[in-house]
């Protein structure tokens, strides 16, 4: 498949920059050489805003680009990052799963290339928490993980490979971003047939 002409990125801190330089967005751009990159990411961006920006940006972009020429990259923030709702953790998690399902459904319906991913280990409930809340385990089972990157999160993946993690932002170094781009993002895109293999 031909590489995308337009890349749309929406997410939180790791989509803006690394702790000491360019983020994975720059490394992916350098590799794919698209005509244009639209990065609507912001530090501490809430997941409800991330979901809305994905929808609005795609709807605007298909006025100028063929759907097959678009690649959308979404990196969700922590599950307690919601603009519209602050309350019990269980309800926050259910609201986040709503965003996951809605965004995945919309991007599939639009027929664009895309991937979803997590910025930190706190983006997806697991383990003991799910054992205590079977209703959440059942609901998250509706999520189609086929379009998610093959890693728990950029934070965990880079941390396990020795890259320093900033305690406040949970972000990592530009070297970690570069390695994550090459070993996770590009490999996944090639495996899916979304980009030309190198």
pLDDT digits (tens, 9 = 90+) for 135-177: 888 888 898 999 999 888 899 999 999 999 888 777 899 999 9
Q: Quick one: average pLDDT of 74-82?
A: 80
Per-residue pLDDT tens over the stretch 26-60 = 999 999 999 999 999 999 898 899 999 999 999 99
The two three-digit tokens of residue 4, written as one number = 């995308």
Q: Quick one: average pLDDT of 100-112?
A: 96
Enumerate the domain spans of the chain. Answer: 6-192
Helices (H), 13-68: 13-16, 24-32, 47-61
pLDDT band at residue 68 under the 50/70/90 scheme: very high
More reliable by pLDDT, 70 or 96: 70
In the predicted model, what is the mean pLDDT of the chain? 90
Give me the pLDDT at residue 82, please: 57
CA distances from 171 to 38, 40, 192 (A): 21, 18, 27
Note the pTM of the prediction, 2 decimals. 0.92
d(CA 174, CA 64): 32
Q: Quick one: average pLDDT of 107-114?
A: 98
> Within 10 A of 167 (CB to CB), how many other CB atoms are there?
7
DSSP state of 121: G
Is residue 96 within 8 A of residue 76, CB to CB? The reply is yes
**What's 6-192's CATH class?**
alpha beta
pLDDT band at residue 85 under the 50/70/90 scheme: low
Is residue 1 within 8 A of residue 195, CB to CB? The reply is yes
To which H or E segment does residue 36 belong?
strand 36-39
Give me the pLDDT at residue 173, please: 94
Residue 125 has pLDDT above 80, yes or no: no
The two three-digit tokens of residue 136, written as one number = 């959440």
């Amino acid at each position: 498949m031909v590489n995308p002409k337009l890349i749309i990125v929406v997410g939180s801190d790791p989509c803006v920059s690394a702790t000491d330089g360019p983020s994975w967005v720059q490394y992916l751009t350098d590799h794919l050489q698209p005509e244009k990159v639209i990065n609507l990411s912001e530090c501490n961006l809430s997941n409800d805003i991330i979901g809305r920006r994905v929808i609005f940006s795609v709807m605007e972009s298909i006025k100028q680009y063929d759907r097959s020429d678009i690649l959308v990259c979404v990196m969700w923030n922590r599950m307690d990052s919601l603009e519209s709702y602050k309350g019990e953790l269980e309800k926050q998690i259910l609201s986040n799963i709503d965003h996951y399902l809605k965004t995945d459904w919309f991007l599939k319906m639009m027929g664009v290339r895309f991937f979803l991913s997590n910025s930190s280990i706190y983006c997806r409930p697991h383990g003991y928490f799910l054992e205590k809340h079977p209703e959440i385990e059942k609901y998250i089972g509706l999520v189609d993980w086929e379009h998610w990157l093959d890693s728990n999160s950029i934070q965990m993946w880079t941390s396990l490979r020795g890259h320093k993690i900033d305690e406040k932002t949970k972000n990592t170094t530009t070297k970690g971003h570069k390695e994550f781009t090459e070993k996770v993002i590009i490999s996944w895109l090639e495996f899916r047939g979304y980009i030309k293999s190198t």
